[in-house]
Amino acid sequence: MKLWQKHFETDKMIEKFTIGTDRETDIFLAPYDILASLAHAHMITSIGLLSQEELKAIRKELLLMYQQIKNGTFSIEPPLEDIHSKIEFVLTQKLGETGKKIHSGRSRNDQVLTALKLYIRAEIRQITHLVHQLFEVLLERAQSFQDVLMPGYTHLQVAMPSSFGLWFSAYAESLTDDLLVMQAAYRVANQNPLGSAAGYGTSFPLNRQMTTELLGFETMNYNVINAQFTRGKTEKILGFALNSIASTLSRLAMDICLYSGANYNFWKLPDELTTGSSIMPHKKNPDVFELIRGKCNQITAFSNEVSLIMNNLPSGYHREMQIIKQPLINAITQLKDCLEMTLYAIPRLEINRRAIESDCYRYMFSVELVHEFVKKGLSFRDAYQKVSQLIENQEYEEIKTIHHTHEGSIGNLCLEKIREKIDRIITDFQFHIAISAEEKLTLEN
């Protein structure tokens, strides 16, 4: 059954090519298409297109499918094209003429748009939860190792003293910026396109505010053409947010790979989290973080992929929008996997508390000596030149005691202030509104 079926048959090669991976990808969208269908059924009942008895029957079948999806027993079988066809097929098979009424006032265009936005909204909740968990792990490690010094590098050259507390909390605070970007993506996704139909509305007196409230959207995409503009645009904006988190994880993974090498030896992974070499018996490779680095770099390509697909399309729906679904689902799934693996591995990093004792870090404290001369009355530039001359003449004597007190420095990590940042951001998402709406829609009468 095809929702667009007329009195002719489409060539089988054309059919296979145009359906693509919809059956596979739409399993991910299935619960959200059910939620949107429930809201739509309530709304068209309110304007007289369904009776209360018909609504009750449709709700019963939709909730049954919803439960099958949750149980993993739901499938989209050929010759059905997609989740939209499956829902209408089941309703028509079970309810006859009543089932045929569900599509009144909507198109597959606004149907998939709504399902995608609900899917994206739910996935952002999951990703945000994982990021928040990783933030807490990083902050806990920062607290535990705030007084343990490690070398800082710039240009891959020995620079100044850092600390493990400073390093861990740097990545924690970086995640707060990433969640601000994700919050923007959430607000873009959290707008109701349902009722825009194929992009030009409908003559039915739809109550779009009702579906907006039933689905827990913050607002709606008011202009029906603009609602269609959000297909691809929403995914691209989400891609920027995924990219932001992935970039943080990739950089963290690179640090861990680099600084776990024997030349640095800042930390090591326990044996069970490493892999070996087929030829070199001594090797213990940080493959887990190399893969996190690679996968996260792969994720950063997603927003560019969407941009290239959507570039220069005129207004209205176009079929190539369909091929965004697969990379969207892949990027989301891959980022969650990387977050979960980072969460698992970071607490198991074994810190080398004696990392700064190597002779190669002798000049790392030279800035501290410059500051000592400044405190005694020299200008900074003269103090800089004096220490430079001491180093050149091999008369430099290192100072290994440091006293940093300003906000965000080694001696004042401001961990609670950083935690306050993320707490405000998490609160501002207001996830509870969407969660409550979805729960109410799926409550058995």
CATH number where 283 lies: 1.20.200.10
Q: Are residues 387 and 275 in the same domain?
A: no
Mean pLDDT of all residues belonging to the chain: 91
Q: Are residues 90 and 228 in the same domain?
A: no
Q: Are residues 167 and 258 in the same domain?
A: yes
Q: Are residues 260 and 337 in the same domain?
A: yes
Q: Of 312, 265, 298, 302, nearest to 284 (Cα)?
A: 265
Give the range of the structural domain holding residue 308, as residue numbers without chain letter.
108-147+161-198+223-356
Q: Are residues 128 and 171 in the same domain?
A: yes
- Please say if the pLDDT value at position 257 is more than 60: yes
Q: Are residues 350 and 388 in the same domain?
A: no
Q: Kindly list the distances between the CA atom of residue 78 and the CA atoms of 1, 29, 203, 217, in Å, as whole numbers in the listed order.
A: 9, 17, 33, 33
Q: Does residue 411 belong to any structural domain of this protein?
A: no
Q: Are residues 113 and 89 in the same domain?
A: no
Please compute the mean of the pLDDT values over residues 205-222 and round it to a whole number: 98
Please compute the mean of the pLDDT values over residues 22-46 and round it to a whole number: 92
440: Cα separation from own chain's centroid: 26
Q: Does residue 3 belong to any structural domain of this protein?
A: no
Angle formed at CA 266 by CA 262 and CA 268, multiple of 5 degrees: 70
Please compute the mean of the pLDDT values over residues 269-292 and round it to a whole number: 82
Q: Are residues 41 and 79 in the same domain?
A: yes
Q: Are residues 301 and 375 in the same domain?
A: no
Count of the separate structural domains present in the chain? 3
Q: Are residues 176 and 118 in the same domain?
A: yes
Cβ burial, residue 311 (10 Å; 0-12/13-18/19+): exposed
The number of beta carbons lying within 10 Å of the beta carbon of residue 316 is 12
pLDDT at 4: 42
pLDDT at 127: 98
Q: Kindly list the distances between the CA atom of residue 216 and the CA atoms of 39, 191, 430, in Å, as whole numbers in the listed order.
A: 10, 9, 11
pLDDT at 316: 84
| Helical ranges in 47-163 per DSSP H | 52-71, 83-95, 97-100, 108-144
- For the domain that residue 41 is a member of, what is the CATH number? 1.10.275.10
Radius of gyration of the chain (CA): 28
Q: Are residues 47 and 113 in the same domain?
A: no
Query: Strands (DSSP E) along 99-254, which ranges?
Result: 149-154, 157-163, 191-192, 219-220
Q: Of 356, 400, 405, 351, nearest to 150 (Cα)?
A: 356
- Please say if the pLDDT value at position 124 is more than 50: yes
- Give 131-188 pLDDT, tens digit per residue: 999 999 999 999 999 999 999 999 999 999 999 999 999 999 999 999 999 999 999 9
